[in-house]
């Protein structure tokens, strides 16, 4: 039997009892996922996929890498990324796709031509499952690198840049809890090393919203109460424009584009004696 | 979503906003999509910041809710839309809430009004006692 005829027969089989088969697929998968994904979501996901798959076979035969399967691949990528993020295993993810074969599994009285159709579906589904696994692996990699980034965010070193000058480079997303830690560390450092200039560098902060701004403002006020001056540095152009549009006013707080500029300013204002022949403070 | 047609072949996603971590996640998702939509760095940052404000309002004032996010099309242009929805107390006086510096909590009172300035399209629907829905869109240039 020619390839095309087999594809045509397969489409026939899949459309004739379409609703029934798609539901059987949903049912089989839902058993393997044991309620960790809502039935409604799974139902929508697999029904969409089923429809796209039938359309794909009709237009493109078994050429799953072709144009006719664009929708199928998009849906599978979405499914796979979702599973990876929700912590499903590779097996569980692949099974969601592989289970699609079983719905046409031949029995003792399946006619020969339908067995051909089943075999074609089986081969096709295997390829699609592999594709799904590949997307899964890629997504996991992305998640891992994002986690590594978050870990780095957790460490916020307060460093002594110069006599009388401390700096804290902020990197990554600032939430309340983390900003609180930074603020406490910074204030403690001011005391510990008897500094009167503090630089908060926000080069590594992706966005400054009102919450971050408020934390920054509070830190500056607290530092002032301790007799220290704060400079905010590392305000990149996109952050500057966003702050202006948002309407945040930093008032008389000194802001600088770069850490180097901030240090220059701090040294000029530091009460610590820094003159070259003036000896140690 | 927000009445605009989605970009074919892309899916809109929905995430719940029930904790601070969700606000961070919302921000990351918006940034990811803004990058995919090829918004400029400035526009990405503006949209992410607006989303951050609205997500936090959803959490703090709306008592939690959802964000729906997706690519949309209009007049051949592509944009990123984020819709924030809660079934909280609603906003009794929209004009007041949209005023720079007005806050019912301890904020700067710039989130809502600032978010409107940060995006291209901004729509706010609210009903006292049933909730608030705010949709924002930023278009690729
Ligand atoms: N989803 C919402 N449900 C109910 N009320 C809201 C909602 N969003 C905002 N509001 C009201 O509008 C006011 C203004 O919001 P806005 O975000 O501008 O300021 P804020 O959150 O108080 O401070 P911040 O500048 O830190 O955002 C809030 O104080 C609150 O009373
Ligand atoms: Mg707010």
pLDDT in tens, A125-136: 999 999 999 999
Query: B10 or A70, which is more confident?
Result: A70
**Is A175's CB within 8 Å of B11's CB?**
no
CB of B16 within 8 Å of any CB in chain A?
A: no
Q: Does residue B44 register a pLDDT over 50?
A: yes
What mean pLDDT is predicted for residues A20-45?
A: 90
Q: What is the pLDDT of residues A55-102, one digit of tens each?
A: 999 999 989 999 999 999 999 999 999 999 888 999 999 999 999 988
Q: Does the beta carbon of B52 sit less than 6 angstroms from any atom of ligand 1? A: no
Inter-chain CB proximity B42 and A78 less than 8 Å? no
- Of residues A70, A176, A207, nearest to B27 (C-beta): A207
The confidence band for A19, taking pLDDT boundaries of 50, 70 and 90, is confident
Q: Would you state the pLDDT for residue B11? A: 80
Q: Which domains does chain A have, with CATH numbers?
A: 3-150 (1.10.490.10), 159-269 (3.30.750.24)
- Count of CB pairs separated by less than 8 Å, A with B: 74
Is A214's CB within 8 Å of B107's CB?
yes
Per-residue model confidence (pLDDT) at position A141 = 85
CB contact under 8 A, B27 and A214: no
For chain A, say whether B46 makes contact (Cβ under 8 Å). Answer: yes
Provide the percentage of residues in chain B whose pLDDT is more than 90.
84
Q: How confident is the model at residue B41 (pLDDT cuts 50, 70, 90)?
A: very high
- Confirm or reject: Cβ of B62 under 6 Å from ligand 1: yes
pLDDT for A43 equals 93
What whole-number percentage of chain A has pLDDT above 90? 52
**Confidence band (pLDDT; 50, 70, 90) for A281?**
very low
Which CATH code fits B13-139? 3.30.565.10
Binned at pLDDT 50, 70 and 90, residue B122 comes out as very high
**Maximum Cα–Cα distance across chain B:** 43
Model pTM?
A: 0.65
User: Are B109 and B53 within 8 A, CB to CB?
Assistant: no
What are the sequence ranges of the domains in chain B? 13-139
Of A74, A241, A246, the CB nearest to B110: A246
Interface pTM (ipTM) of the complex? 0.89
* B44 vs A: CB within 8 A: yes
The pLDDT-based confidence of A181 (bands split at 50, 70, 90) is: confident
Q: Write down the mean pLDDT value for chain A.
A: 87
**Residue B1: per-residue pLDDT:** 57
Q: Which residue has the higher pLDDT, A274 or B138?
A: B138
């Amino acid at each position: 039997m020619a390839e095309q005829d087999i594809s045509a027969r397969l489409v026939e089989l899949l459309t004739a009892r379409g609703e029934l088969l798609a539901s059987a697929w949903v049912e089989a998968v839902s058993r393997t996922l044991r309620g960790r994904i809502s039935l409604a979501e799974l139902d929508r996901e697999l029904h969409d996929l089923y429809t796209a798959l039938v359309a794909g076979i009709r237009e493109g035969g078994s050429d799953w890498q072709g144009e006719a399967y664009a929708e199928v691949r998009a849906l599978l990528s979405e499914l796979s990324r979702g599973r990876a993020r929700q912590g499903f295993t590779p097996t569980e993810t692949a099974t969601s796709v592989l289970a699609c074969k079983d719905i046409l599994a031949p029995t003792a009285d399946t006619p020969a031509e339908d067995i051909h159709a089943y075999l074609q579906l089986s081969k096709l589904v295997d390829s699609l499952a592999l594709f799904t696994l590949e997307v899964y692996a890629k997504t996991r990699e992305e998640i891992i690198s994002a986690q590594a980034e978050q870990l780095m965010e957790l460490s916020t070193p307060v460093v002594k840049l110069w006599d009388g000058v401390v700096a804290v480079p902020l990197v990554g997303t600032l939430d309340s809890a983390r900003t609180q830690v930074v603020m406490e560390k910074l204030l403690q450092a001011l005391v510990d090393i008897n500094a009167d200039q503090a630089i908060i560098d926000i080069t590594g902060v992706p966005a400054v919203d009102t919450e971050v701004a408020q934390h920054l403002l509070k830190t500056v006020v607290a530092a002032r109460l301790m007799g220290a001056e704060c400079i905010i540095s590392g305000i990149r152009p996109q952050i500057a424009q966003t702050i202006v549009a948002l309407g945040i006013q930093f008032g008389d707080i000194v802001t600088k584009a770069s850490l180097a500029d901030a240090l220059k300013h701090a040294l000029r204002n530091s009460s610590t004696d820094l003159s070259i022949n003036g000896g140690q403070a | 979503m927000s009445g605009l047609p989605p970009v074919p072949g892309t899916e809109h996603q929905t995430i719940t906003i029930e904790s601070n971590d969700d606000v961070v996640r919302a921000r990351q998702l918006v940034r990811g999509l803004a990058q995919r939509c090829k918004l400029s760095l400035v526009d990405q940052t503006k949209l992410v910041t607006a989303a951050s404000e609205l997500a936090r309002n959803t959490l703090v004032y709306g008592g939690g809710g959802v964000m729906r996010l997706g690519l949309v099309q209009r007049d051949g242009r592509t944009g990123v839309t984020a819709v924030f929805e809660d079934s909280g107390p609603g906003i009794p006086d929209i004009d007041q809430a949209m005023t720079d510096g007005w806050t019912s909590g301890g904020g700067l009172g710039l989130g809502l009004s600032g978010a409107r300035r940060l995006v291209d399209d901004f729509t706010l629907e609210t009903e006292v006692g049933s909730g608030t829905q705010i949709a924002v869109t930023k278009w690729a240039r």
